[in-house]
Amino acid sequence: MGKPAVYSLPDTGNPPGEGLRPLRLAVFVTHPIQYFAPMFRRLARRPEIELTVLYASLIGAEPYRDTGFGRTLAWDIPMLEGYRYRVLKNYRPRKTEGFFSFLSPGIIREISRERYDAVIVFGWACLTSWLAFAGARLSSVPLMLYGDSIPLFEGANGRLKAALKTLLLGSLFRRTSAFLVMGKLNRAFYESYGAPASKTFFVPYPVDNDFFTLRAERAREHREALRARYGIPPEAVLLLFVGKLVRRKRPQDLLAVLRRLQPSLPYLGAVFVGEGELRPWLEAEVARGGMRNTFLLGFKNQTELPEVYAISDMLVLPSMREPWGLVTNEAMACGLPVVVSNMTGAGVDIVRGDDNGFVYPCGDIAALEKIIRRLAADAELRGRMGQRSKEIIRSFSYEQCVEGILKATRSATKGRVAGA
């Protein structure tokens, strides 16, 4: 089947109330994800919870080939420390994308044998998630869902697929005890399928705010030296793109804006962080257009990213399909103004026009140009918006995630959680 990891947790000193035992909570997620490992550690420290995270694979904690980045990577932060986990047998270990990836039928037996009080399943995009749904139902274990779907992209796959999706998700959601919602659009998605408001609980899509804030603040003390490392002039005003260099992310829109603005704003430039199929094309366009202060830095791991945010002046996320966009959270924690397209989920919840950033129509280069021109010309505005970003993102923290999960489990298990 799978085996528990060897781990140790600090004694919280706060045992559950007399006569109550901790809730035995299982979480299924296909593989370790850099944004969720810190959340699991915090959740595991709560005395009300006895947490077990179920993985079908350890990619991410172990090196793997990421097809989007086009390279082998492993995250350079602790991914498996501080919480109990099990690794289920995976019958498709070499397949990491698609519905039939991460195939672990043993999850049905795991849920039944371990007698969990509740199960959280992250998403429904792979077969093993649906096997987890079946296991929860067969064992009469309350099911909670945590997914990133939003209404913006509904109907994009044709009528037949849309009808099938409505049938399957409608049936699934009727049997779901709690929905963990990451934002307003995600909540609207669940409610469009009939999820009652009483079953929705706010569990924001998180990054480690403290990690990014503290490291960026330290890096900013040496900003000119860090810029010099990459050959970036100290006076340059830099747009920042972070993500896979693929068509869906539209990194080419930054070049289009630079092409328009550099004749009148020669100090304006851009930094691209990431790898992907568009990198050769982007490099060729930069060279062909003679664009100044434009740098493609390649992939940067978690511990390297705060420095990149610190040397930049604003984040631009021009994606045409982005259920959330966690680089927005990262940039805000690092004190940057943020500019995102209206096809990003984060734009509804954490980007506030004329406060900490702007939302513009995806693909509208003229609208993006107008925003960038305003920000590039006004250092005081950038500073004020960056400070507001740090203040706003504090409300989207791991602490809120943990509290939301506890509220959801109390509801799903009808008060059997310690301290309910």
Asked whether residue 249 falls in the same domain as residue 344, the answer is yes
Q: Could you identify the residue written with the tokens 């896979």?
A: 244
Confidence at residue 1, expressed as pLDDT on a 0 to 100 scale? 40
- Same domain for 298 and 178, yes or no, is no
Pair (128, 143) in one structural domain:
yes
Question: Which tens digit of pLDDT belongs to each residue from 119-176?
Answer: 999 999 999 999 999 999 999 999 999 999 998 877 666 778 778 888 989 899 999 9
Residues 339 and 407 both lie in one domain: no
Please tell me whether residues 270 and 137 are part of one structural domain.
no
Taking Cα atoms as reference points, which of 206, 82, 191, 181 lies closest to residue 407? 181
Contact criterion met (CB below 8 Å) for 80 and 24: no
Question: Are 31 and 91 found together in one domain?
Answer: yes
- 372 shares its domain with 401: no
Domain of 317? 209-393
Q: How far is CA 327 from CA 38, 137, 299, 322, 337, in A?
A: 17, 36, 14, 11, 12
404 & 386 share domain: no
Structure confidence at residue 174 (pLDDT): 94
Question: Which pLDDT belongs to residue 130?
Answer: 96
* pLDDT per residue as tens digits for the range 288-329: 999 999 999 999 999 999 999 999 999 999 999 999 999 999
Residues 371 and 294 in one domain: yes
Residue 156: predicted pLDDT: 63
Give the pLDDT score at 16: 53
Q: Supply the CATH number for residue 181's domain.
A: 3.40.50.2000
pLDDT score recorded for residue 73: 81
Count: domains in the chain: 2
**Looking at 146-160, 220-234, 348-362, which range is the least confident one?**
146-160
Separation CA 258–CA 278 (nearest Å): 17
Classify residue 5: in a domain, yes or no.
no
pLDDT of 246-265, one tens digit each?
Answer: 999 999 999 999 999 999 99
Query: What are the counts of helices (DSSP H) followed by strands (DSSP E) for the chain?
Result: 15, 15
pLDDT tens by residue, 27-47? 999 999 999 999 999 999 999
Tell me if 11 is assigned to some domain: no
**Average pLDDT in the chain:** 91
